[in-house]
Structure 1
Amino acid sequence: MLKVALPKGRIAEDTLEIFTKIFGNEFKFEDRKLTMTQGNFEFLMVRNQDIPTYVTEGAADIGVVGLDVLEEHNADVLRLLDLKLGKCKVCIGIKNEDKLDYSKPEIKIATKMPNITRNYFATKATAVKIIKLYGSIELAPIVGLSDAIVDIVETGTTMKQNGLKVAEAIMDSSAHLIANKNSFIVKREEILSLYHKINDLIN
């Protein structure tokens, strides 16, 4: 039995569709249920940000999570496969009339990704003050809380609607299949079998 941690929402649906295509049975969670057992798999419906923790701690053998989350958490897991789902970018956003001014002694950045932000600006030898927010991040530069934001951008529509533009792209992200390091030793055959089946389907 493999325990699989999936992020709530579209990525989970797309991943279960992959399982359905591979194994022929429909894989679907019952309404509001957080676990589902089917065949040799037990699926756990988990908040996206918590998936690295579930997999690192061994509560799940494998998981599906965005590369941005892996980078932010610096998760100690095996990265097995880019599933090419949920493609997006981590970008710096600023007001339409502004420029990103690296000459300032410190740039104020509002974000829910402090580690990615710090690491990126460290490569630019630029000091940043991180303002940690959990939602409505686009509001921060508009009301003067920050000079810029670092956030996930899929289409850029939300930024445009709020008078912001992308100043720089930090990284590309998409959903990755990851594994617990110990599980990969103990359940190596099961995990590799699944890996090859998914890889054959998507590539």
Structure 2
Amino acid sequence: MIASDVAVQFIVTSAVLAAIPGPDNLFVLMQSALNGSRKGVAVTLGLCTGLLAHTTAVAFGVAAVFQASATAFTALKLVGAAYLLYLAYGAFKAGRGTGDAGAQDSAVEAAPEASAWALFARGIVMNITNPKVAIFFLAFLPQFVKTDAGPVPLQVAQLGALFIATTLVVFSGIAMASGKLSVWLRRSPRAIARMNTVAGCVFVGLAAKLATAQR
């Protein structure tokens, strides 16, 4: 079992890391602003579900493959970058669809809104296809493992659960805060168009960052 002082130190560190601007919390922020806080929380739940896979990978040593194999790392990051570009295309398309001032109302009404389940799945895919997360877990979690505190896989699983819980709280806070922006956006179709364009640019930037990431 993990000692209480180690758990507290780990939770504080995890909260700071979760709050630092990065691909995941930016993703939550943009989706919450466009779709509301409830949808932002759905994205958060998806991202945290993806962390379960990374925790399992570290606990059983699978993540070491991505650290050792340049081919595996490159393949996974390119898949992730392609998915982000797909999201960027959808955002740019939505931005163009709501950009015509003469047809704004009908465009907004006709624009399909992603369901909570779709955004949940989107969060899972985005998180799992980011090999940097697996390597981060591989480097971060073992720092809090004590060889005399029980089986290492069990400790890693406990640390992963604490990290996921902390991330869920921090990202949900981001979703709730940025979700308030969604109320204002829904009153302004032109603002929605611009926000979709911004979202597209963010996705392109995240894709470029992931595609050029080094181990």
Same fold (TM over 0.5): no
Higher RCO, 1 or 2 (CA under 8 Å, sep at least 6)?
2
More helix by share: 2
When the two structures are superposed, what TM-score results if normalisation uses the length of structure 2? Answer: 0.25
TM-score between both structures, scaled by the size of structure 1 = 0.26
